[in-house]
Amino acid sequence: MTRIKFFITCVILLSILLAQAALRMPFLREPVEADEGAYAYIAQRLLAGEVPYRDIFDHKPPAIYFIYAGLFKLFGDEPIVLTFSSAAFGMLTTLAVFAVGILLFGVRGALFSAGLYALFSGGPYVEGASANTEMFMVLPMVLALGCFLKAKQASPLLSLRERDVKINHWKNEKLGEGVKWLFLAGFFSGLAVMIKQVAVFNFLVLVGFSFTKMSNVQCPMSNEGVSYLDKVAKRHHHWKLEIGNWKLGGGIIYLLLGFLLFPLAFTLYFWSRGALPDFVRCVF
């Protein structure tokens, strides 16, 4: 990609972000709605030393309370803090959608995808301006998908079969790179699930695709996308999915390890405060 095309891409992406911010402006003074009020109250009690589920009942996973508590600690507990934070997370998610779009479709497809997300994610009909769990959950979900695609791109044959990879995984440079991305995919998936339980279904999709392989092919949709990947990701190809005749995907181990970090951290937190039974009963 030439410098001019790169500059144009940056200008278009910046324009998308500015348009997204402009669409959010009318809703910045929007009052908190019922769910936001519940999260805000629990976050305030959390900052006061109380423990969710044991001292205050709710049925959402705990990450949203800690996110709210962190925002209140840093910026105060005015309602506008929540709407600003929702807008900021939405714009970060737009950037993440753009990055994933490059991996899948090239620059044009990435800009189109980012534009669609920026346009529709903040709409009033989906309560997009509110600081609900969905607005915070989508970002780690998109990051998880991006990391998973990078893992598959780096190591198309993540298998436990000796003929596919070396026995010593860590001496295989390409496999090691793929393992790193798989771990991060699990890490972000675990965070998303700890924000809202429904994200587990997206994680299960990644688990299913762990039993597949990627074949290098020229992408017919966007030669521009190929040149961009050559510049940014040092790749000369896009790829398509092929189902492998595998009995077990070796990468799933690292995916699961990353996924378990946040659930285990919260389990230890509530166990240390004598609230583990309350946590399990309310959330699961």
Q: pLDDT digit string (tens) for 93-126? A: 999 999 999 999 999 999 999 999 999 998 877 7
Quick one: pLDDT band at residue 218, thresholds 50, 70, 90? Answer: very low
- C-beta contacts of 69-77 below 8 A and 24+ residues apart: 69/43, 69/44, 71/43, 72/40, 72/43, 72/44, 72/47, 73/47, 77/40, 77/43, 77/44
Could you tell me the sign of the dihedral formed by the alpha carbons of 74, 79, 84, 89, in that order? positive
Would you say 283 and 238 are in contact if contact means Cβ atoms under 8 Å apart? no
Tokens encoding 195:
């924000």
Task: Please tell me what DSSP assigns to residue 4.
Answer: H
For residues 247-268, average pLDDT: 85
Phi-psi region for residue 246, left (φ > 0), alpha (ψ -120 to 50) or beta? beta
Quick one: pLDDT band at residue 82, thresholds 50, 70, 90? Answer: very high
- CA 54, CA 278: separation in Å to the nearest integer? 6
- Percentage of residues in the chain having pLDDT higher than 70: 78
Task: Please tell me which residue, 151 or 163, carries the higher pLDDT value.
Answer: 151
- Please tell me the predicted confidence (pLDDT) of residue 214: 57
pLDDT tens digits, one per residue of 220-234: 444 444 444 444 444
Could you tell me the sign of the dihedral formed by the alpha carbons of 24, 26, 32, 33, in that order? negative
- Please tell me the predicted confidence (pLDDT) of residue 250: 59
Q: What is the dihedral of CA 48, 53, 55, 56, to 10 degrees?
A: 80
The percent of the chain in helix, strand and coil, each rounded to the nearest 5, is: 70, 5, 25
* Nearest partner of 182 among 219, 162, 156, 161, judged by Cα: 156
For residues 167-173, average pLDDT: 45
- CA 27, CA 123: separation in Å to the nearest integer? 10
Task: Please tell me which residue, 18 or 166, carries the higher pLDDT value.
Answer: 18
Q: Is pLDDT at 259 greater than 80 in this prediction?
A: yes
Task: Please tell me which residue, 256 or 228, carries the higher pLDDT value.
Answer: 256
Quick one: pLDDT band at residue 127, thresholds 50, 70, 90? Answer: confident
